[in-house]
């Protein structure tokens, strides 16, 4: 699993932002979000996976039009563990945001208002996960986690939900 390998490498490299504490904070926030909305683990993994797919598409589009540096700047600016509606607007925009909500309603059976209320937490969490590969001394330098997520070889084997699930097992959560 290339993405998780990149995250694991970032966690063990003091020159990158990733740490067990960062991963733990992300996973705790996902668990809290799940608890607050009464969703089971499978539904929550679906939410993270689907949102991750849309974030990936949006960042790939940014990368194609404005360069990898712009995609990294978006990750740096909006990654976090707190709800941030601006992150949803900046990354997904209104059209993609509607698509995400519709997709998640169909896949999870949750109502649209619940899904909409979860996006301001899910999008920054996805970006925070990607931020783990950023260099501590130069956040704009190459980010192997972001590169793995954007799947430079286009083989399509990237799933943020799976990577977070493996990270949870790694951290015994």
pLDDT digits (tens, 9 = 90+) for 34-68: 999 999 988 998 999 999 999 999 999 999 999 98
Predicted local distance difference test score (pLDDT) of residue 170: 59
Whether residue 107 has pLDDT greater than 60: yes
Residue-wise DSSP of 82-124: S--HHHHHHHTHHHHHHHHHHHHHHHH---HHHHHHHHHHHHH
Question: What's the token pair of residue 100?
Answer: 């995400």
137 touches 10 (CB < 8 A) = no
Predicted local distance difference test score (pLDDT) of residue 148: 84
79 touches 127 (CB < 8 A) = yes
Host domain of residue 155: 2-170
Predicted local distance difference test score (pLDDT) of residue 166: 61
Number of folded domains that form the chain? 1
Residue 83: band (very low, low, confident or very high) from pLDDT cuts 50, 70, 90: very high
| pTM (two decimals) | 0.86
Residue 167: band (very low, low, confident or very high) from pLDDT cuts 50, 70, 90: low
120-136 confidence digits (pLDDT tens): 999 999 999 999 999 88
């Amino acid at each position: 699993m290339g993405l998780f390998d990149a995250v694991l490498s970032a966690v063990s490299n003091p020159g990158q932002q990733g740490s067990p504490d960062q991963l733990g904070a992300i996973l705790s926030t996902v668990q809290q979000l799940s608890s607050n909305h009464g969703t089971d683990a499978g539904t929550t993994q679906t939410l993270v996976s689907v949102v991750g797919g849309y974030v990936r598409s949006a960042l790939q589009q940014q990368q194609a039009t404005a360069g990898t540096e712009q995609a990294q700047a978006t990750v740096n600016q909006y990654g976090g563990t707190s709800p941030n509606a601006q992150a949803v607007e900046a990354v997904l925009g209104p059209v993609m945001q509607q698509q995400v909500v519709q997709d998640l309603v169909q896949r999870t059976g949750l109502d649209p208002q619940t899904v909409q209320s979860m996006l301001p937490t899910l999008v920054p969490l996805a970006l925070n996960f990607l931020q783990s590969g950023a260099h501590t001394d130069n956040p704009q330098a190459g980010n192997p986690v972001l590169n793995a997520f954007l799947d430079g070889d286009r083989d399509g084997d990237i799933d943020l939900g799976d990577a977070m699930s493996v990270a949870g097992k790694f951290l015994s959560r």
